[in-house]
Chain A
Amino acid sequence: MNASEAFLTGAVYLALALLSLSFLVTVLRVVRGPTLPDRIVGLDMLVAVAIGFIAVIGIKTGVTLYVDVAIALGLVGFLATVAFARFVMNRGRDREVDGELQSGSEPLEHRRPEASS
């Protein structure tokens, strides 16, 4: 084991530690909120951290099968964010008071049912 490999091993462990820390910090933000977009940003960040994990583990173990998983994860994360953005836009802010979601029992007034689909 020469110096460069030792350096890489140390770097991998350091990176894993940093990533774990940032994972925890991000989870804290997701839990805390306080608004829905905050949580969405946090989830987005979690995807990024997960991809970082995949890359580092790929270097550490040489198992690079997961690179495609990383790409797919990026795709899914993108789709999720887009869908959440749509949701935020459609719902508006009125139902969210002080970061607490009111339980959605209010009836819809503007969308009336049609008889058939």
Chain B
Amino acid sequence: METALAGLVGLFYAVAIYLMLSKHIIRVLLGIVIFGNAVNMTIFTAGRIVREVPPIIPAGAERIESVVANPLPQALILTAIVISFSFFAFLLVLAYRAYQELGTDDTDEMRVAEPEGESLPPLGY
């Protein structure tokens, strides 16, 4: 199972990096989303995959008697998902605004903040 997941993670990373190298901002965003999912699966795999019961203490009991799944990776992934979701929501709005304001989704043409051919500073004093 770990092997299969590791292969899948690798595939995800490959796709994500391929997309992130594109110059269209929307592709970069999609790449980032896949990147985030790949990371989540990495954490999931790192937490040792076992077929166990959820780590919930039954009502009335003080402790769990059986083997339980590791709750920590799930908590971590959940946190990471929440964060990457909000991040992505923000980036989506930003990309949309950029497309509207700058009239392009090509990062090569986004040079408003750093205009090309800027003059050098005055050299004399």
Contact = CB atoms under 8 A, between A and B. Distances in A.
A2 interface: no
B100 A107 contact: no
A108 B24 contact: no
Interface string A87-114: 0000000000000000111011001010
B50 to A, nearest CB: 17
Interface residues of A, number: 7
Contacts of A108: 99-100, 103
A105 B26 CA distance: 11
Contacts of B106: 105
A111 B24 CA distance: 20
B42 interface: no
Interface in B81-121: 99-101, 103-106
Contacts of A113: 100-101
B103 A104 contact: no
B24 A107 contact: no
A30 B101 CA distance: 33
B101 A104 contact: no
Given A103-B24, A104-B24, A111 B100 contact: yes
Contacts of B103: 107-108
Interface in A65-87: none
Interface string A40-70: 0000000000000000000000000000000
B101 A107 contact: no
A105 B100 contact: no
A53 to B, nearest CB: 18
16 contacts: A103-B24, A104-B24, A104-B26, A104-B105, A105-B24, A105-B104, A105-B105, A105-B106, A107-B103, A107-B104, A108-B99, A108-B100, A108-B103, A111-B100, A113-B100, A113-B101
Q: Sort A-B residue pairs by CB-CB distance and give the 4 closest, nearest first.
A: A107-B103, A113-B101, A105-B106, A108-B103
Interface of B: 24, 26, 99-101, 103-106
Given A104-B105, A105-B105, A113-B100, 13 more contacts: A103-B24, A104-B24, A104-B26, A105-B24, A105-B104, A105-B106, A107-B103, A107-B104, A108-B99, A108-B100, A108-B103, A111-B100, A113-B101
